[in-house]
Each structure stands twice: as C-alpha cells, then as structure tokens.
Amino acid sequence: MSVNNRSIQKIIIADDHPLFRSALAQALKSTMPDAQFFEVANVAELEIVLNGNADADLLLMDLHMPDANGFVGLSHVVKNYPQLPVVMISANEELNVARQAQHYGALGFIPKSASIPEMARAIELVLDGEIYFPANIDTSELIVEPEQEELIQKIAEFTPKQLEVFNLLADGLLNKQIAYEQKVTEATVKAHVTAIMRKLGVNNRTQIVLMASKVKVDENFGVDRPGE
C-alpha cells in the first residue's frame, strides 16, 4: 500500500536542529499532504510525544541528538516501543554506521544528503513494511565492539526517567542540578542514580560518565573507541 493511499499518518521527527526538523517536515508535506508531523529536539521530548501518541506510524531519528548517546537512544525506543518503525537519519554516511543502525533495530537509514524524493521513497517503503538501507550494505561486515554491545543493551533497559538522569550525569550535572532540571527532589535523583549504578555494575558517578563516553558516536568517523 502506498503512502498516498493511506489514512493520516503520524510521523515524528527527532533532531536537535530546529531548522532541519522544520525544513524536513515542510518538504515531506509536499509528498505526504495528509501526514501529521511532530517535531522533538531530544529523547526526553520524544518520550512525551510517544506517551501521547501510542499510534504513531514512524519515527525519523537523528543519530547525533546529544542525549541519544549514539545507538542507545535507538535501542531504548526499539525496546520500549516495539510497534514503532524507526528510520535513522544521519550526516554520517559510513556504511558501518548504517549497519549498526540496522543491528540495533532501525528499519531504515537515510543520509541527510539524500534528496527529498529519496527520503519520501524510503519512508514509503518502511510504512509499507519494507526496509531501506544503502544498496551496498552488508551486515556480515558489521563491526561492533563486544563491550559496546553489552553496554548499549544495559542502558536500553533503563526506564525513561533513568535514561534522562543518566544523560544529565554524563553532562557532569550534580544531583542538586539534576533535581532542578527534572523538577524532583534530590532523594528521587539519588534513587535513580543508585538504580543506574546497579544496572551498569558500577559504584560511582565517574564510572557512569566513562560508560557514557564509550557509547558515543563520532559525527565524522563512527563509534568512538577507547584509546583512539
């Protein structure tokens, strides 16, 4: 079934660049005039939209949103919203990045350099139950560090609130600052931090920050690896 024959779709665009979000939504409206677009800038906003739109048809998710932590955000969404097709969009066109997007549950990968007709075609395929990846992608050549794989799976198990606290810890915020950002008590933040440390198997905040650095994706070259 083609996109043009469908009823109104709900499409979420998750990207921290407002001009890109707006431009993409406006451009796609020319080929999908009946679609309803939701724009979010980070994973926290994404959770709010998903909670109010459980029937969303598609998520277009930028790999490099600051609080997505590389493929952690993707894995978290796939695990918690398994019914939602996710297409990753990225300025990084490395084939291994596309392979990893597929490995962690994306049903498509669209370079930001793609034309609007190409993006619309990719979206149509995914909405019709297909996948869309670079033609020369070969998942047998996937390179995933075992440590990174294990860590991403652990973080994907976080609750939405734990993931938010984890991201703020990774940014170097103190419990008091996190409590202010989250509009909760410091006791609540401490409870989240304790749960995070338990799930990661660490015993201090410094180790949490180190864990966060291990799952980041370099915007030019792919997944950061310790020592490189």
- The pLDDT score that the predictor gives to residue 141 is 64
Q: How many angstroms separate the CA atoms of 159 and 68, rounded?
A: 14
- The pLDDT score that the predictor gives to residue 190 is 94
CATH topology of domain 3-139: Rossmann fold (3.40.50)
Q: How many angstroms separate the CA atoms of 159 and 101, rounded?
A: 21
Longest dimension (CA), the chain: 54
- The pLDDT score that the predictor gives to residue 191 is 96
Question: 3-state secondary structure string, the chain?
Answer: CCHHHCCCCEEEEECCCHHHHHHHHHHHHCCCCCCEEEEECCHHHHHHHHHHCCCCCEEEEECCCHHHCCHHHHHHHHHHCCCCCEEEEECCCCHHHHHHHHHCCCCEEEECCCCHHHHHHHHHHHHCCCCECCCCCCHHHCCCCHHHHHHHHHHHCCCHHHHHHHHHHHCCCCHHHHHHHHCCCHHHHHHHHHHHHHHHCCCCHHHHHHHHHHCCEECCCEECCCCC
User: 223 has which bridge partners?
Assistant: 217
- The pLDDT score that the predictor gives to residue 148 is 79
Q: How many angstroms separate the CA atoms of 213 and 72, rounded?
A: 12
CATH topology of domain 146-223: Arc Repressor Mutant, subunit A (1.10.10)
| Domain residue ranges of the chain, discontinuous segments joined by + | 3-139, 146-223
Task: List the pLDDT tens digit at each of the 228 positions of the chain.
Answer: 344 444 668 999 999 999 999 999 998 888 888 899 999 999 889 999 999 998 999 999 998 887 887 788 899 899 889 999 999 998 888 888 888 899 899 999 999 888 888 898 999 999 999 999 987 676 666 666 777 788 888 888 888 889 889 988 888 899 999 999 889 999 999 999 999 999 999 999 889 888 888 776 554 434 444 443
- The pLDDT score that the predictor gives to residue 46 is 93
Q: 19, 26, 74: which is closest to 46 by C-alpha?
A: 74
- The pLDDT score that the predictor gives to residue 226 is 40
Radius of gyration of the CA atoms of the chain, in A: 18
- The pLDDT score that the predictor gives to residue 7 is 63
- The pLDDT score that the predictor gives to residue 171 is 84
- The pLDDT score that the predictor gives to residue 186 is 94
The reply to whether 3-139 and 146-223 are identical in fold is no
